[in-house]
């Protein structure tokens, strides 16, 4: 007699090792067949209705008592509410905190919260309240020093704190009104209590060149100065390096045709490419992806390693880079400069004519780049502009183009999602102010490198997985059902009918159909927002957007600490004699997996034990959470500074009209994207033509009750720049025919959508690094341009 679904579900959720997950992954873990899924879902709904199981935040299924309390990080919203992001995302989703429920918590604080569930007409609603602040995330804030009627206060920049900080002693640090200062909180704001603080640093006059960069660095608490011990480690590593001695212990590729392809202004070259035709067996190509061997110079447990781990990654600002490693390494001995012998860890991947993987091996190598090419030069060669380039370089580029197109075709057939969100490069003057913007280069040379980097990342991940070695993966979960429902509602309003359960092929078809249409950006953005964020974790999950069952980051150890840990793990594998791998892509590759796992199990356990306790006892899960945080911190800081610089320019263009696309609808207005700078501004409902406006935020439309005029996401409308608040990160727009303008006090109202400058990039003429394919953000993949985080 078969066990009822309800009993099976309760047993599974009661197991000691169970961690709350969403409905579809739960069905997979329980072995529910597709034809049984409808009945399984009905059983879950029945158990939920009687209170035997509950949906926690983020639609994670758990037993009732398991999700009543949890610990997380608070994120405040300027409208008074907030969210708590759990420390353990497996235990609970983000929890909504209504106005008045946060005590005195501010953005970044670690809090203990209580979950409240209420059954209503539309189903169960989940919210919470903060019980106590366990640890302050920020006790220092950056802002403008102001004096109003003899009372001194700091108006904080950005979105971390939304109230003024009053200063009992404003004379500290000889600051004056209009200065940009750092203030340390003494009393946090709460109901009936003002925030108070003391000035600890004067950054300069607000608006002066360079003050905006320093302000963002301080605001986001980004480490920016290397301790002397770390610098000494770097100098010692360089002093001990002798390429001729090292070459005897490595595969010598200095006579091979190897090139680098990077942006015009790049300084650190951490990847190089070789490619040759093969005639033996099924292999038609051997791709060599050669990555700077940073692990040789940065040893685990040193002061240099500790500083790199703390930083987590490099941070890229306009004409200013905060590197993960000292520049003597990142721009020097680790950079794969033309004509210089350099140490690498190389992945040699074999392909058949259709771009399918038939084998791979890995080795410690020494290379010497034959040519440093820019993307612009590579694109020119592929377009036939070959004058002045050696024949060998031209032939290599053509081979690379052929193989990359075969790989791309294969990956698209596997279901890779390619989002096309327009990107721009900002043009700066001598004082680093934005003066113009132009479309970023999206030529196919970028895609070539992107394909090769993704393939190398995947190949290393397959090597580790096949040997049961724990490692930091780059995981990107499938969109949950709520995300798909929200996307489906939006697409229906936009005139696109999609199946209730959208598969990758459905999303690919949708994106192909809307390409070049006015609503293309809004649809791509909606697809992006329906996805979860890619993170670092040792959990054996795949990467949805890349259609990869097993993925990691290997190709950028100069600028990402995750990649450095992967290089160290690979070194352990190579020393154990486990650097070879036969078998093809996905199904073909798995054929001999059982035998390989048995043969390599003991070596894998030994390596895994060492890696698991890497970083002074910090386990891989904890390290993954830290590196995911530093990645988000860098992205937030980079995005915010780009926003600041664009707003500084637009503040000089108040009253200017433009025609933009509606990219978002909220209960207080619409977000419109500036077509030139790709930044979103807010049209509040009271800045629209005279009517009673009805907002349907779920379907993304605003309708006039009297005129029946309708505005929907993707529509193009004419607007006027009404007000710019640089400190508040706010661009306020109004529509022609709006009622008499009512200017909003600086810092009041909704903050500018941070998604706005997600698409804006800055030309970087120098520094310690640049970005390439193989990064990852919310979508984690398939987004054009060199600024991707996959």
**SS3 string of 677-723?**
CCCEEEEEHHHCECCCEEEECCCCEEEECCCCCEEECCCEEEEEEEE
Give the residue-averaged pLDDT of 745-759. 32
Q: Which has the closest alpha carbon to 483: 507, 518, 505, 512?
A: 507
pLDDT tens digits, residue range 551-593?
A: 999 999 999 999 999 999 999 999 988 766 554 444 333 334 3
The torsion angles phi and psi of 574, rounded to 5 degrees, stand at -65, -40
Assess whether pLDDT exceeds 90 at residue 274: yes
Q: What are the structure tokens assigned to 604, written together?
A: 């894998």
Q: How far is 427 from 765, CA to CA, in rounded Å?
A: 11
Q: Who contacts 483 (Cβ-Cβ below 8 Å, separation ≥6)? A: 529, 530, 531, 532
Q: What are the structure tokens assigned to 626, written together?
A: 């830290």
Q: What is the 3-state secondary structure (H, E, C) of 104-142?
A: CCCCCCEEEEEEEEEEECCEEEEEEEEEEEEECCCCEEE
The three-point CA angle 47-48-49 to 5° equals 95
Q: What is the pLDDT of residue 564?
A: 98
Q: How far is 426 from 439, CA to CA, in rounded Å?
A: 9
Q: How far is 768 from 766, CA to CA, in rounded Å?
A: 7
Q: What is the pLDDT of residue 361?
A: 96
Report the percent of the chain where pLDDT is more than 70. 84
Chain center to CA of 122:
34
Q: How far is 308 from 330, CA to CA, in rounded Å?
A: 12
Q: What is the pLDDT of residue 120?
A: 59
> For residues 31, 35, 36 and 39, what is the CA-based torsion angle, rounded to 10 degrees?
150
> What is this structure's pTM?
0.81
User: 296: which DSSP letter?
Assistant: G
Give the residue-averaged pLDDT of 701-727. 92
pLDDT tens digits, residue range 517-529?
A: 878 888 898 899 8
Assess whether pLDDT exceeds 60 at residue 760: no
Rg, the chain, Cα only: 27
The torsion angles phi and psi of 60, rounded to 5 degrees, stand at -90, 130
pLDDT tens digits, residue range 94-122?
A: 788 888 888 888 888 888 888 887 765 55
Q: Which has the closest alpha carbon to 651: 517, 550, 752, 737?
A: 752
Give the residue-averaged pLDDT of 759-787. 36
Q: Are 250 and 293 in contact (CB under 8 A)?
A: no
Q: What is the pLDDT of residue 450?
A: 97
For residue 18, the tally of other CB atoms under 10 A from its CB is: 17
Assess whether pLDDT exceeds 90 at residue 790: no
Q: How far is 38 from 507, CA to CA, in rounded Å?
A: 23
Q: What is the pLDDT of residue 88?
A: 62
Helix (H) or strand (E) holding 529: helix 520-530
Assess whether pLDDT exceeds 90 at residue 653: yes
Q: How far is 236 from 231, CA to CA, in rounded Å?
A: 9
The widest CA-to-CA distance across the chain, in whole angstroms, is 84
Q: What is the pLDDT of residue 758?
A: 30
Assess whether pLDDT exceeds 80 at residue 56: no
User: 331: which DSSP letter?
Assistant: I
For residue 245, the tally of other CB atoms under 10 A from its CB is: 9
Burial group, residue 14, by CB count within 10 angstroms (0-12, 13-18, 19+): exposed
pLDDT tens digits, residue range 449-486?
A: 999 999 999 999 999 999 999 999 999 998 887 788 88
The per-residue pLDDT of the chain, averaged, comes to: 84
User: 325: which DSSP letter?
Assistant: S
User: 381: which DSSP letter?
Assistant: H
Q: How far is 778 from 585, CA to CA, in rounded Å?
A: 25
Give the residue-averaged pLDDT of 649-663. 93
């Amino acid at each position: 007699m078969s066990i009822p679904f309800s009993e099976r579900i309760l047993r599974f959720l009661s197991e000691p090792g169970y961690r709350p997950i969403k409905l579809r992954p739960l069905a997979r873990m329980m072995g529910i067949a597709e034809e049984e899924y409808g009945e399984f879902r009905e059983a879950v709904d029945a158990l939920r209705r009687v209170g035997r199981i509950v949906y926690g935040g983020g639609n994670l299924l758990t037993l009732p008592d398991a999700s009543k309390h949890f610990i997380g990080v608070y994120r405040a919203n300027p409208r008074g509410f907030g969210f708590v992001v759990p420390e353990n995302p497996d235990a609970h989703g983000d929890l909504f905190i209504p106005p008045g429920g946060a005590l005195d918590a501010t953005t970044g604080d670690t809090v203990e919260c209580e979950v409240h569930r209420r059954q209503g007409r539309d189903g169960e609603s989940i919210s919470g309240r903060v019980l106590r602040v366990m640890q302050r995330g920020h006790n220092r804030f950056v802002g403008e020093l102001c004096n109003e009627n003899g009372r001194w206060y700091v108006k904080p920049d950005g979105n971390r704190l939304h109230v003024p900080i009053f200063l009992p002693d404003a004379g500290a640090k000889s600051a004056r009104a209009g200065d940009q200062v750092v203030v340390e909180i003494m009393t946090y704001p709460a109901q009936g209590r003002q925030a108070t603080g003391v000035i600890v640093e004067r950054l300069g006059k607000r608006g002066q060149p360079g003050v905006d960069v320093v302000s963002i660095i301080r605001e986001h608490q980004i480490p920016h100065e290397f301790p002397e011990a770390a610098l000494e480690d770097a100098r010692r590593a360089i002093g001990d390096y002798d390429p001729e001695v090292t070459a005897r212990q490595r595969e010598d590729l200095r006579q091979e045709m190897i090139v680098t392809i990077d942006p015009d202004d790049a300084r650190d070259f951490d990847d190089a490419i070789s490619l040759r035709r093969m005639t033996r067996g099924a292999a038609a190509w051997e791709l060599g992806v050669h990555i700077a061997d940073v692990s040789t110079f940065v040893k685990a447990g040193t002061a240099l390693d500790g500083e790199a781990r703390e930083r987590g990654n490099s941070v890229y600002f306009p004409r200013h880079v905060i590197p993960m490693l000292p520049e003597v390494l990142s721009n020097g001995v680790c950079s794969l400069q033309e004509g210089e012998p350099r140490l690498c860890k190389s992945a040699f991947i074999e392909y058949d004519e259709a771009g399918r993987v038939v084998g791979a091996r890995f080795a410690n190598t020494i290379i010497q780049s034959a040519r440093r090419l820019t993307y612009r030069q590579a694109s020119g060669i592929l377009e036939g502009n070959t004058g002045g380039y050696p024949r060998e370089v031209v032939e290599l580029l053509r081979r690379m183009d052929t193989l990359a197109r075969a790989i791309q075709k294969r990956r698209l057939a596997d279901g890779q999602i390619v989002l096309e969100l327009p990107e721009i490069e900002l043009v700066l003057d001598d004082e680093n102010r934005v003066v113009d913007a132009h479309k970023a280069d999206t030529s196919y040379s970028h895609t070539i490198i992107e394909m090769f980097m993704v393939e190398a990342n995947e190949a290393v991940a397959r090597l580790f997985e096949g040997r049961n070695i724990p490692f930091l993966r780059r995981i990107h979960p499938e969109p949950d059902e709520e995300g798909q429902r929200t996307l489906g509602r939006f697409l229906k309003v936009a005139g696109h009918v999609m199946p209730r359960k959208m598969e990758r092929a459905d999303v690919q078809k949708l994106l192909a159909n809307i390409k070049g249409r006015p609503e293309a950006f809004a649809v791509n953005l909606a697809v992006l927002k329906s996805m979860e964020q890619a993170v670092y974790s040792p959990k054996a999950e795949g990467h949805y957007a890349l259609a990869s069952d097993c993925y990691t980051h290997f190709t950028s150890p100069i600028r990402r600490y995750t990649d450095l840990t992967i290089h160290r793990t690979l070194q352990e594998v190579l020393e154990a004699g486990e650097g070879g791998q036969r078998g093809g892509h996905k199904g073909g590759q798995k054929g001999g997996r059982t035998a390989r796992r048995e043969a390599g199990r003991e070596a894998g356990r030994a390596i895994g034990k060492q890696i698991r306790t890497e970083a002074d006892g910090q386990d891989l899960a904890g390290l993954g959470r830290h590196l995911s945080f530093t990645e988000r911190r860098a992205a937030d800081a980079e995005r915010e500074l780009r926003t600041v610089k664009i707003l500084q320019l637009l503040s000089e263009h108040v009253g200017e009209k433009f025609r933009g696309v509606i990219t978002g609808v909220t209960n207080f207005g619409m977000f419109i994207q500036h077509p030139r700078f790709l930044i979103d501004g807010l049209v509040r409902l009271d800045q629209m033509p005279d009517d009673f406006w009805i907002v349907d935020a779920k379907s993304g439309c605003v309708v006039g009750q009297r005129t029946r005029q309708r505005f929907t996401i993707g529509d193009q409308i004419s607007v006027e720049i009404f007000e710019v608040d640089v400190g508040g990160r706010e661009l306020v727009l109004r529509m022609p025919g709006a009622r008499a303008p009512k200017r909003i006090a600086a810092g009041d109202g909704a903050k500018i959508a941070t998604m706005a400058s997600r698409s804006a990039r800055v030309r970087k003429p120098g520094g310690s690094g640049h970005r390439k394919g193989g990064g990852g953000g919310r979508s984690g993949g398939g987004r054009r341009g060199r600024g991707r985080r996959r």
